[in-house]
Amino acid sequence: MNPSIIPLFFIFLTILVPITYAQEDCPTIIKNALSTTDSACQTTGRNQACYGNNSLNVTTRTDAASVIFEHTGDIADVAEIESLRLSSLNSDSGDWGIALMNLQANLPNTLPGQNVRFLLFGDVNIENAGSTIPTTLEMTAVGNANVRQGPTTRDKVIATLKRGDAVTAVARLADDSWVQINLPDDSEAMGWVSAPLLQSTVDISTLDVFDATKSHFGPMQAFYFSTGIDDAPCQQAPDSGILIQTPKGAGRVNLVANEVNIQLGSTVYLQAQPGAEMIISVLEGHASVESGGVVVTVPAGSRARVPVDNRSAASGPPVGPESYLNADLAALPVGNLETVITIAPALTEAEIETAINNLLIPRSGVWNITNLQTDCSGSISREPLVFTFSSDGTTMSYLQYTLQRTGPGVYELDSEDKISWHNTWHFSTPESGEWETIRYVQPCSIHGAAAFAP
């Protein structure tokens, strides 16, 4: 070898060898970090966060108790966490930040063992936008009372109270006309009752005034987040992000991420870059994404993108659904979720359209409609109602009427055979037995729950 090039050769080696080691170390770091998290976080309970792998920085809420969240296996209540900052992979130190959270979200208390699983990894920053614990007041129903989704008689009835039922009030309107309560069978879900229908030994003025401009979700049910993008340090590592999985058979879960409303019964992968966009990739099941007054249905094998401002807050309607790239998702740690899944292959544009249509075709046969509520001036005379869907989902029979499917989840009567109310029915997620109807001619809505009759 020419003596003059020997120094250059050694310089080349000093550069190449660390790079080679780093590439070899990366898969090992990823594997060990995930294994460590699995082992250390097995006892994480409902509405708790677990420190999975180095390194994480936590900021606690000002009214929180002393929180120890510094080492692998440390567990804290999410209500006490203001924000979490995770680290991207550092091959020198072996760090790759991972955190795990189990959230009740809007799941009922009757499902105590079922939680929404969050798995955060890599360069992720998440801020809790859920409400803090409000001032509460114990109240009693003075008679039968409807609990509504909002503080008007036009809002959907979501529960009923009987005379003597005890409830916990958490807020009021400024004029004291309506009171917000925790639902009797679900302390995490809330509804509204007309104030004269409730009584208490304490004046309701002690309650906080409801502020519609503020989030009223439970801890981490609403959040802001940002992640690294295209930052996987090796082929065996995923890009930074958040995996969210809802429990099987628990119905739809509502979350608000970066002011984007997301309804899901599925596994999704979230990424967001401030000043650019937020990406919601649906790996199995399907999700609804709402921003700027626009709602899109996103089936497995596709994604939606939402523009965000420099604070990561949504700044426009969603784009999509559109196909995602299989290669971008191949390394996601889905094996570390509560339910191990197979990531759905990317759909073509035609397959996405077909999937959306199929999502809203109810199972053929007879459905019994129960718990019917109405915001119309009239009353519903039949309960339960019975609908029958054709095998191809193109028609729905109700009483002496036959309705035609005019779009995903939408059935209408022929224009010459309209009746004054319920002539258009809008179904949502019929495979889980949930639906709602909207009056076609005048502002009026009917809501209920549907169950397939075998």
pLDDT at 148: 86
More confident residue, 105 or 212: 105
Question: What would the pLDDT profile of 54-75 be if each residue is shown by its tens digit?
Answer: 889 999 887 667 778 889 999 9
Span 77-104, average pLDDT: 88
Q: What is the pTM of this model?
A: 0.68
More confident residue, 395 or 411: 395
Burial of 9 (C-beta count, 10 Å sphere; 0-12/13-18/19+):
exposed
pLDDT at 13: 40
Give the model's confidence band at 261: pLDDT under 50 very low, under 70 low, under 90 confident, else very high: confident
d(CA 299, CA 345): 11
Q: How confident is the prediction for the chain on average, in pLDDT?
A: 79
Smallest Cα–Cα separation from 239: which of 29, 34, 89? Answer: 89
Span 372-389, average pLDDT: 59
pLDDT over 90 percentage in the chain: 32
Averaging pLDDT over each range in 14-23, 211-220, 247-256, which range is the top one?
247-256
- Other CB atoms within a 10 A radius of the CB of residue 92 amount to 9
**19 pLDDT above the threshold of 50:** no
Give the model's confidence band at 271: pLDDT under 50 very low, under 70 low, under 90 confident, else very high: very high
CA triple 336-342-345, angle to 5 deg = 135
Question: What would the pLDDT profile of 272-283 be if each residue is shown by its tens digit?
Answer: 999 999 999 999
Tokens linked to 402: 């036959």
Smallest Cα–Cα separation from 279: which of 236, 235, 329? Answer: 329
Taken as a whole, the chain contains a residue count of: 454
**429 pLDDT above the threshold of 60:** no
**82 pLDDT above the threshold of 70:** yes
Lowest mean pLDDT among 133-147, 153-167, 416-430: 416-430
Give the model's confidence band at 396: pLDDT under 50 very low, under 70 low, under 90 confident, else very high: confident
Span 425-453, average pLDDT: 56
- The conformational region for residue 353 under phi > 0 = left, psi -120 to 50 = alpha, else beta, is alpha
Give the model's confidence band at 268: pLDDT under 50 very low, under 70 low, under 90 confident, else very high: very high
More confident residue, 445 or 194: 194
pLDDT at 358: 74
More confident residue, 217 or 144: 144
Lowest mean pLDDT among 45-54, 175-184, 399-408, 438-447: 438-447
pLDDT at 441: 42
pLDDT at 150: 80
**366 pLDDT above the threshold of 90:** no
Query: Is 81 within 8 Å of 58 (Cβ atoms)?
Result: yes
Question: What would the pLDDT profile of 367-377 be if each residue is shown by its tens digit?
Answer: 776 655 555 54
CA triple 123-128-131, angle to 5 deg = 170
Lowest mean pLDDT among 149-153, 306-310, 372-376, 422-426: 372-376
Tokens linked to 317: 């309607």
Question: What would the pLDDT profile of 329-361 be if each residue is shown by its tens digit?
Answer: 999 999 889 888 999 999 999 999 888 877 767
pLDDT at 8: 47
Buried b vs exposed e over 375-414: b needs ≥16 C-beta within 10 Å?
bbeeeeeeebbebebeeebeebebeeeebebeebbebbbe
- Bond before 321 cis per omega within 30 degrees: yes
pLDDT over 70 percentage in the chain: 74
d(CA 114, CA 106): 11
More confident residue, 391 or 167: 167
